[in-house]
């Protein structure tokens, strides 16, 4: 952050086309908006500025920064009869004074009635007219040239009927912003509880026992052949195959098979 108590400024007007450098004035904006680049106060003439014509610049000391403007002040010969000018003090702008002719022959003329021209207000940035002043011409009504820049679609400011900054109105349409909203819906379903009842029937003890014995006999009828088959397979795997692998004589194999059959019949 830069801190200062005072500063010296040199404001150059070299290269401008002011017509009379002896009648230049320096003005300061009392409230300048740096962001919007416009004067929100009034323009006041700086009385302590020095017009250094040899270097075509104004010199002054300031305690705060603002916007400054150099203005061509009125002078005799600028084409406008103003600032107290009369036909006597400035006939170049106000014209010659009318002669006061008498009624008779060459009598003495009456006194002058003053200039025959009405003073015209000097052109400025606030007269509502697109004109030229201060050595420059306005680009629009009271803007551009010697005045503040004219509103445009590229000045970074929302003005001239724009609906956004430099868009809408007289400028290109503003971009459309699409917003996506995610809506989450939670549905709560109540659960239904169902109850199941069982009915138990008690039979006489004798009947239940008889039924259970019959069921077990039926199970043995089905499982007995299966058990015998498993036993035979175990014998084949554990007895026959080792014998076949260890003996090469067919007679021995036949004897073993007969012995196996006898064991199964037992």
SS (H, E, C) the chain: CCCCCCEEEEEECCCCCCCCHHHEEEEEECCEECCCCEECCCEEECCCCEEECCCCEEEEEECCCCCEEEEECCCCCCCCCCCCCCCCCCHHHHCCCCCCCCCCCCCCCCCCCCCCCCCCCCCCCCCCCCCEECCEECCECCECCCCCCCCCCCCCCCCCCCCECCECCCCCCCCCCCCCCCCCCCCCCCCCCCCCCCCCCCCCHHHHHHHHHHHHHHHHHHHHHHHHHHHHHHHHHHHHHHHHHHCCCHHHHHHHHHHHHHHHHC
* Residue 23 backbone dihedrals phi, psi, to 5 degrees: -125, 60
pLDDT for the residue numbered 104: 40
pTM: 0.38
Sole residue written with tokens 């006194």: 111
Sole residue written with tokens 């320096």: 26
Render each residue's pLDDT in the chain as its tens digit; 266 residues.
567 778 899 999 999 888 899 999 999 999 999 999 999 989 999 999 999 999 999 999 998 889 999 999 889 988 888 878 888 899 888 888 887 644 443 444 344 444 444 555 678 888 888 888 776 888 888 898 889 899 989 888 998 889 999 999 999 999 887 666 676 666 665 554 545 455 455 544 444 444 556 566 666 677 777 888 888 888 877 777 666 666 555 666 677 777 777 776 66
pLDDT for the residue numbered 45: 92
pLDDT for the residue numbered 246: 60
Per-residue tokens: 32? 């300048």
Beta bridge partners of 38: 33
pLDDT for the residue numbered 174: 93
Sole residue written with tokens 């868009």: 167
pLDDT for the residue numbered 111: 40
Report the distance separating Cα 143 and Cα 138, nearest Å: 6
- All structural domains of the chain with their residue ranges: 207-265
């Amino acid at each position: 952050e830069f801190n200062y108590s005072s500063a010296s400024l040199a404001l150059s007007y070299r290269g401008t086309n002011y017509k009379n450098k002896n009648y230049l004035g320096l003005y300061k904006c009392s409230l300048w908006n740096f962001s919007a680049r416009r004067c929100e106060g009034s323009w006041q003439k700086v009385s302590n500025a020095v017009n250094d014509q040899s270097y075509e610049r104004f010199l002054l000391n300031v305690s705060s920064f603002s916007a400054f403007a150099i203005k061509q002040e009125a002078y005799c010969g600028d084409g406008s009869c103003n600032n107290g000018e009369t036909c006597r003090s400035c006939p170049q702008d106000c014209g010659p004074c009318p002669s006061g002719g008498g009624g008779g022959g060459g009598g003495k003329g009456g006194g002058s009635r003053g200039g025959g021209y009405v003073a015209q207000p000097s052109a400025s940035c606030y007269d509502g007219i697109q004109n030229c002043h201060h050595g420059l011409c306005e680009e629009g009504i009271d803007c551009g040239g010697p005045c503040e820049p004219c509103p445009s679609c590229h000045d970074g400011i929302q003005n001239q009927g724009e609906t956004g900054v430099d868009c809408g109105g007289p400028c290109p349409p503003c971009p459309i912003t699409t917003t996506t909203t995610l809506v989450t819906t939670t549905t709560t379903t109540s659960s239904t509880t169902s109850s199941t009842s069982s009915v138990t029937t008690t039979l006489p003890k004798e009947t239940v026992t008889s039924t259970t014995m019959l069921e077990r006999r039926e199970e043995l009828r089905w499982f007995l052949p299966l058990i015998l088959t498993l036993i035979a397979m175990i014998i084949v795997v554990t007895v026959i195959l080792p014998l076949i692998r260890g003996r090469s004589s067919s007679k021995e194999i036949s004897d073993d098979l007969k012995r196996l059959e006898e064991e199964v019949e037992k």
